[in-house]
Amino acid sequence: MIKGTYHIGFGVSDDVKSIGFYQKHLNFGKVRVSIEDISEGNFGDFVGAGSKYRWSMLTHNVSHVDFEPVQLLSRKPIRIVRQWGDVGFNDVCFKVTGLQRLYDQLQEEHVKIICSPQKMSVGSGKWEKQFFFFKDPDGMIIKLEEDVKNATTQPEVLGYDYISIGVSDFEQSVNFYRLLGYNRLLWDSKGHLDWMDEACGQRIEGRTAMIGSEFDDHLLQLIQIPGANNSLHKRTWGDIGWLEFCLRVHDLDSTCSYLRGKNVKILVEPTLATPKLDYAFIAYIADPDGNYVELSYHKQR
């Protein structure tokens, strides 16, 4: 059903500035495509008919997962201040080497750093990482993470690893993502998440787990923090922040049919992604909290 992770979509206030930031600091290369669109049809019903926006596809120099900055042009996008652990997409993590060197470089460039390099060990020592958080030009949280056992001094951003998702009902979310093929539990940690205390500026209690899929090595981190804020209802597609992650599928119609049979609501029925690309088809679903997942199919040309 699912072929693999395709891209991460995020709303920005200035796409030129954001693209330059991701190219400079996160090892992204050329812009593969950049298109101005006006929403119509099924997608127009989803984001607002007649909404004008520009989306680009930014290719990473190492990883095969693209990033898609989206800038609304027909209205000023909403910016909502979020904290780590809030319900919704929290941060995007990149695999790196030479973590300390990268930290020093970002400091020298006066990038907004959230915390100094931290260490975490979960899963009975099977998952030992060092990491730090920083913010992009719009305040979205980015995590750089290095495997402690394979740490080096050579700095390089190797590409997208996983997205962290704050959830309100852990088991319900696990069951939803299992429908999409995320059926491997790498680790599950409850109680004091001590490695997040400095980043959040307070003691963090909750539950977090890392789940993997059957189709590629990219992961999802689920997080449940008691009393976490949920502001997803205040924003729509295209507003500033992490918008979606997109999965490639073998057959869009049959995938949507399968998900309907599992009582998953199809927010956008299969449709052309844009009239300007007659081979690219998409559909949209949402997890139990309303986080968007795009499904993508490219017809052979």
pLDDT value of residue 301: 67
Burial 37-64 (b: 16+ CB within 10 A, else e): bebeebbeebbbeebebbbbbbbbeebe
CATH number where 48 lies: 3.10.180.10
Please indicate, yes or no, whether residues 191 and 92 belong to a single structural domain of this protein.
Answer: yes
Backbone φ, ψ for residue 161 (5° rounding): -115, -55
Among 224, 259, 285, the domain-final residue is: 224
Residues 151 and 126 reside in one and the same domain:
yes
Residue 114: which region, alpha, beta or left (left: phi > 0; alpha: psi -120 to 50)? alpha
Residue environment code for 246-270, b if the CB has 16+ CB neighbours within 10 A, otherwise e: bbbbeebeebbeebeeeebebbbbb
Residues 84-119 as b/e (b if ≥16 CB within 10 A, e otherwise) read: bbbbbbbbbbbbbbbbeebbeebeeeebeebbebbe
Question: To 5 degrees, how large is the angle CA 107–CA 65–CA 292?
Answer: 95
Are 174 and 116 found together in one domain?
A: yes
Output the CA torsion sign for 100, 101, 102, 106.
positive
- pTM for the model stands at 0.96
113 and 194 part of one domain: yes
For the chain, what is the radius of gyration of the CA atoms? 19
Q: What is the pLDDT of residue 128?
A: 94
Q: What is the pLDDT of residues 76-109, one digit of tens each?
A: 999 988 889 999 999 999 999 999 999 999 999 9
> Residue 257: what are its φ and ψ, rounded to 5°?
-65, -45
Looking at the fold, whether 100 and 159 belong to one and the same domain comes out as: yes
pLDDT score at 22 = 98
Per the structure, the count of domains in the chain is 2
User: Residues 127, 244: one domain?
Assistant: no
Q: What range defines the domain where residue 205 resides?
A: 88-224
- Residue at a domain's end among 224, 258, 290: 224
Whole-number Å distance between alpha carbons of 19 and 28: 8
> What does each of the 301 residues of the chain score in pLDDT, given as a tens digit?
999 999 999 999 999 999 999 999 999 999 999 999 988 777 888 888 888 999 999 999 999 899 999 999 999 999 988 889 999 999 999 999 999 999 999 999 999 999 999 999 987 778 899 999 999 999 999 999 999 998 999 999 999 999 999 999 999 999 999 999 999 999 999 999 999 999 999 999 999 999 999 899 999 999 999 999 998 888 889 999 999 999 999 999 999 999 999 999 999 999 999 888 899 999 999 999 999 999 999 988 6
**Could you identify the residue written with the tokens 């006066």?**
110
Are 152 and 279 in a shared domain? no
| 97 shares its domain with 43 | no
Torsion of CA 118, 123, 128, 132, to 10 degrees: -30
- Verify that 244 and 190 share a domain, yes or no: no
One domain for residues 171 and 245: no
Q: Are residues 137 and 204 in the same domain?
A: yes
Last residue of a domain, one of 171, 203, 224: 224
111 lies in the same domain as 207:
yes
pLDDT at 285: 97
**For the segment 179-196, what is each residue's pLDDT rounded down to a tens digit?**
999 999 999 999 999 999
Q: Are 204 and 133 in contact (CB under 8 A)?
A: no
